[in-house]
Amino acid sequence: MKTAICPGSFDPITLGHLNIIRRAAAIFDRVVVCVTFNSAKTSPMFSNEEKLEMVRTAVSRYPNVIVDHCETLLAEHVKKYEGAVLIKGLRAASDFDYEFQMDLVNKRINPQLETMFLTADQKYTFLSSSIVREMARYGADLHGLVPEELIDFIEEKARMRRE
């Protein structure tokens, strides 16, 4: 069974993330969406449990996609999925620079780990969780940016943080 790991902090998950996940699910037998808890990100909008629940909701439509989480180095964590490949979405050249460095670090930790890059669909090249959080903070329309079933939750969370 060929397994892909799609890691990310998903704060929140966007339609760009789902585009990469959907495409990976068409290529691999199993896709593990791995919610990573990034210690460098100091002020996430959502708790770890909220992120996991949002991702579970968003990927529930894909039968070969499961959700996991990681609180350690990703290159160590994925060893439990023997022969798995990391899938990383790229929006721009700057993403490649960062992800290329991460690939080199991951290979130092786990030499068997391979990384595949999927370029973002053109309509999502501008989209990031940071943009969604900023728009939500100001009450902007999130339709077409995040899964429909998560909009009310994201808007409510942003409203609560404003108050």
Annotated catalytic residue 41? yes
Q: What is the pLDDT of residues 84-141, one digit of tens each?
A: 999 999 998 889 999 999 999 999 999 999 999 999 999 999 999 999 999 999 999 9
Q: Is the pLDDT of residue 41 over 80?
A: no
Q: Which of 77, 129, 133, 157 is catalytic?
A: 129
Give the pLDDT confidence score for residue 38 in this predicted structure: 67
Residue 7 counted as domain residue: yes
108 catalytic residue (yes or no): no
Kindly tell me if the per-residue pLDDT of 42 is higher than 80.
Answer: no
Could you tell me if residue 163 is inside a domain? no
* Residue 104 domain flag: yes
pLDDT confidence of residue 93? 87
What are the backbone dihedrals phi and psi of residue 3, each rounded to the nearest 5 degrees, phi first? Answer: -120, 135
Q: How many domains does the chain have?
A: 1
Residue 118 lies in a domain: yes
Q: Report in angstroms the alpha-carbon separations of 125 from 4, 48, 75, 120, 128.
A: 22, 26, 26, 6, 8
Query: Residue 99 sits in which domain range?
Result: 3-125
Q: Determine, yes or no, domain membership for 119.
A: yes
Q: What pLDDT sits at residue 40?
A: 67
Catalytic annotation, pick one of 17, 23, 133, 157? 17
10 within domain boundaries = yes
List all residues 6 or more positions away from 21 whose beta carbon is below 8 Å from its beta carbon.
Answer: 6, 31, 33, 59, 62, 65
Cβ contacts of residue 81 below 8 Å, gap of 6+?
3, 5, 32
* Residue 84 belongs to a domain: yes
Stated pTM of the model: 0.94
- Nearest one of 131, 139, 143, 144 to 156, comparing CA atoms: 139
Q: Which of 41, 108, 159, 161 is catalytic?
A: 41
**Which of the 8 DSSP states describes residue 40?**
T
Identify whether 69 is a catalytic site residue: no
- β partners of residue 5: 32, 86
| pLDDT of 64 above 90 | yes
What CATH number is associated with residue 25?
3.40.50.620
